[in-house]
Amino acid sequence: MSQELIIGIAGAGGDGVISAGESLITAAALEGYHGIMTKSFGSQIRGGEASCRLRLATQPVLNPNGPLDVAVVLNWEDFRRFGGELPVEPATIVIYESNTGVSPDNLPLEGVTPAEVFSVPITEMAQTHAGTDKAKNIVIIGLLAGWFGIGRASMLAGIRKKFAKKGASVVEGNVRAFQAGLEFAEAHPLEADRKLAAPQADRGAKLLTDGNDMCAAAAIFAGCTFFSGYPITPSTEIMQFLDREIWKYGGTLLQAEDEIAGIGAVVGASFAGKKAMTATSGPGMSLKTEMLGLASIAELPLVCVNVQRGGPSTGMPTKAEQSDLFQAAFSAHGDCLRPILAPTSVGDVFGITVEAFNLAEYYQTPVIVLSDQEIGQRKETVDPIDTSAFQLVERRRPTETELAKYTRFKLTESGISPISHPGMRGGNYLAAGIEHNEVGRPTASGEMHARMNDKRFRKFDPLKNRRDLFVVEGDPDAPIGLVSWGSVAGVAREALRLAQAEGLHVKLLVPKLLYPVVEPVYQDFFASVKRGLFVEQSYQAQLYRLVRMFVDLPPLVKPLAKSGSNPIQPAEVLERLREMVVALQGNRNHHQTEQAAG
């Protein structure tokens, strides 16, 4: 019996690969398993390759990475396009479509011989039992249910529900295709039992959702009543969810004609007194930059979610990357500071989105949330959200006394001044992109410009005390430190646990507030550190370089960074940690030898 199972499925667009994965993780979640499912596509608008990978386990899982236990191949050419995203190792079981013309002893896998290989007439079985090759994905989930014991009853119920509107004949055809997969597995048993062990009985209810839907739900909870945006991969699902739901809560959604209009409408809604949000990806962020500057100088709150993808330009729109941090922090002309938050998992997206609205409203500023394609589109089992644990922040409104002689941009001690909205008696003021004095009147005074810059920066000073937006795990006095953020933080967390199991003294820092850089947190963390790694999915190691601008890191703290679509695996991080422990021991022995000689 296995405690976890990592499955990769690849084929052409239209083969139902993603649908098969969603059926599997839904059935597993209903039976009480934990799971993560990621999706990956080619960049083509139509057609091209598609894959998914599932990690199902009896215990909580932190990331989807690692070599495959099971590889399901509908098309070898498509499978090989995913490279390191679907790694096959000697322990992997390979199941492939027999009509590909490849013999089991001559698989196109370089440098590895899988543990077991099954050539299965998947398309023929679909046509025979369901009357259409579109049922290939149903045959696949039948095979996997048969060999690995994943949710037979739940998957059958799901099939009947999914196809109910298409009539009894379609339902029964797909049921027969599923049964055919089960029977093939029973007739061709595995050499060793690889079935998943039973889940924990007291596991409790779980949600199965993705990061984009979680973000949209959190926005509604936080009080967002206006969303405007433009469809762009991989953030579009946020807008789609809100288009279905925001109206039920008195909100409004506008699909704008382009990215610039999308954020322009959000700035206008914020000026009108509404909590407002937009969502995009890297290319859209480039277009939204000028409007973000307008919101910054006019001190208007809004939330801008960037579901990052590979770049630059169109780049790799269907792959995850963490390479927009520099853009988020520095893509503004003039002196400008915008808080940047990053969730580390699907479950984490809810709290980070609520926090983004709270920061935006309190500090009267744009706040950027850096999600990415993996978190945005991956399915994950998460605990139900305890909404009673959250407090919602509203913007500072002027009192009647303040409205008697309203000074919108008053130079207060905190840097935060009361904000009115149209229709508020006495609250009229000019909000524009030009520098202004305290009442909002345009100015070319260098002295006033300096004072307003100071106001706009000084108001963020309390953020440097927000230690609750950082997570520290492991031995507080460890000489080896890891830092990781976003979706890759799950990889670092698992590497930390593996290292601790080997007796290595390691600790991990996971920042959820990326900018402004909270210097005391990093200084405290690195006080005991002699060697370390920043683990992140960007060629330039952007968080590593950003932190170095503000913090004197130990000289032997280095980046472990890769471009998007080149997965970083926990075992890879663990190996680097082992090397650092050996190096530390070598330095200690050398030092002791020098002392003895002296």
* 472 three-state secondary structure: strand
One-letter amino acid at 450 equals A
**pLDDT > 70: percent of the chain:** 97
- In 3D space, the residue among 8, 560, 209, 79 whose CA is nearest the CA of residue 217 turns out to be 209
Distances (CA, A) of 288 to 258, 263, 282, 293: 10, 6, 10, 9
| Range with lowest mean pLDDT among 20-34, 451-465, 533-547 | 20-34
- What average pLDDT does range 494-508 have in this prediction? 97
Where do we find the tokens 């991956």?
378
> CA dist 290 to 28, 261, 287, 334, Å?
46, 11, 7, 11
Q: Could you tell me if 546 and 517 are in contact, meaning their C-beta atoms sit under 8 angstroms apart?
A: yes
- SS3 label, residue 294: helix
Residue 399: how many CB atoms within 10 A of its CB? 9
Residue 14 pLDDT greater than 90, yes or no: no
Confidence of residue 529 (pLDDT cuts 50, 70, 90): very high
Question: Which residues, other chains included, contact 126 with Cβ-Cβ below 8 Å and sequence gap of 6+?
Answer: 132, 133, 134, 135, 136, 138, 139, 177
Tokens representing 444 are 């070319």
pLDDT at 54: 96
Q: What is the pLDDT of residue 386?
A: 94
Contact between 382 and 207 under an 8 Å Cβ cutoff? The reply is: yes
Instruction: Say which residues have a Cβ less than 8 Å from residue 128's Cβ, sequence separation at least 6.
Output: 180
Q: Which residue has the tokens 């023929």?
A: 124
Q: Is the pLDDT of residue 266 over 80?
A: yes
Q: What is the mean pLDDT of residues 371-395?
A: 96
The structure tokens listed for 132 are: 């259409």
Q: What is the pLDDT of residues 316-348, one digit of tens each?
A: 999 999 999 999 999 999 999 999 999 999 999
**Rg of the chain on CA atoms, in Å:** 27
Q: What is the pLDDT of residues 282-298, one digit of tens each?
A: 999 999 999 999 999 99
Q: Is the pLDDT of residue 591 over 70?
A: no
- DSSP calls for 175-214: HHHHHHHHHHHHHS--SS--PBPPPPTT----EEEEHHHH
pLDDT at 200 over 90: no
What is the dihedral angle through the alpha carbons of 515, 549, 345, 387, rounded to the nearest 10 degrees? -30
Average pLDDT of every residue of the chain? 94
The CA distances from residue 364 to 320, 349, 415, 504, 513, in Å, are 30, 22, 10, 45, 17
d(CA 323, CA 308): 7
- What are residue 593's phi and psi, to 5 degrees? -65, -40
CA-wise closest residue to 512 among 552, 543, 480: 543
The domains found in the chain, sorted by start residue, are 4-187 (3.40.920.10), 208-389 (3.40.50.970), 469-588 (3.40.50.920)
Measuring CA to CA, which residue among 49, 50, 46, 56 is closest to residue 24?
A: 56
